[in-house]
Amino acid sequence: MKVLSLTVGPIMTNCYVLCDETEKVCFLIDPGDEADRVEQLVASSGCTLKGILLTHGHFDHCTGVAGILKNHPDIPVYIHPRDAAEEKTDLYYMRFPRLPEKNQRYYREGDQLKLGSLTVTVMETPGHSAGSVCLIVGNVIFSGDTLFRLSCGRTDLDGGDYHDMLRSLGRLGRLEGQYQVYPGHEEYTDLDTERSGNPYMQQGMQRF
């Protein structure tokens, strides 16, 4: 397993390419903007793109999807249904716009996606948005805007909820073992660091 990363867009969103180097296939996670740069990152992996995975529907995590689909028109794009928009509204930029049926896919708690020899498991982690998820593969967590280094995502946007956030962080903190954490913004971290030093995770583990 190999993880490549790129920071894109005005809000400095972390975009990731998850690779199975043996079978030369990859998933793209949160292409937030700058589709051309993201496409270059995918190409540099030497792997065939098999799908796009979104941790949630906010514009800074999915604006690049349309540009990627121009070069990969048949790949699936996964998102939790609670973060998908059915039509344009004044909060359209906070939910992912619906794609053609050949591309649109939904995932939920416990769903598993195969990528060569790798298995990506979906954990529902609402709080930042109603449909936020973390993606777990091996000892790696792609945490979106749920968990940041010694912090967490904001909860004052549409669909956000502080109590849900604490509950989600508590679930993450109670996972057995050590994990590398690749967040939606800022620097990487690991679960032991968060258990020992993140006040939001500690509160969530105590309360829920």
Mean pLDDT of the chain: 95
Instruction: Report d(CA 136, CA 190) in Å as an integer.
Output: 13
Entry pTM: 0.96
Contact 99, 72 (CB under 8 A): no
Strand partners, 146: none
Instruction: Report d(CA 105, CA 121) in Å as an integer.
Output: 15
pLDDT of residue 119: 98
Instruction: Report d(CA 84, CA 149) in Å as an integer.
Output: 27
What are the sequence ranges of the domains in the chain?
2-207
Instruction: Report d(CA 81, CA 14) in Å as an integer.
Output: 22
Angle, helices 162-173/199-207, rounded to nearest 10 degrees = 90
Look at residue 21 and tell me whether its pLDDT is greater than 60: yes
**How many other β-carbons are positioned within 10 Å of the β-carbon of residue 202?**
17
Look at residue 81 and tell me whether its pLDDT is greater than 80: yes
Q: pLDDT of 129-140, one tens digit each?
A: 999 999 999 999
Q: pLDDT of 102-128, one tens digit each?
A: 999 999 999 999 999 999 999 999 999
Task: Give, in degrees to the nearest 5, the angle at Cα 187 between 39 and 18.
Answer: 40
Specify the pairing of strand 84-85 against strand 112-115: unpaired
Look at residue 29 and tell me whether its pLDDT is greater than 70: yes
The CATH homologous superfamily of the domain defined by 2-207: Ribonuclease Z/Hydroxyacylglutathione hydrolase-like (3.60.15.10)
pLDDT of residue 120: 98
Q: Work out the pLDDT band at 85, boundaries 50, 70, 90.
A: confident
Q: Work out the pLDDT band at 93, boundaries 50, 70, 90.
A: low
Instruction: Report d(CA 72, CA 47) in Å as an integer.
Output: 13
pLDDT above 90 coverage of the chain, percent? 90
Q: Work out the pLDDT band at 208, boundaries 50, 70, 90.
A: confident
Contact 1, 118 (CB under 8 A): yes
Q: pLDDT of 153-197, one tens digit each?
A: 999 998 999 999 999 999 999 999 999 999 999 999 999 999 999
**Side chain identity at residue 111, one-letter code:** D
pLDDT of residue 30: 98
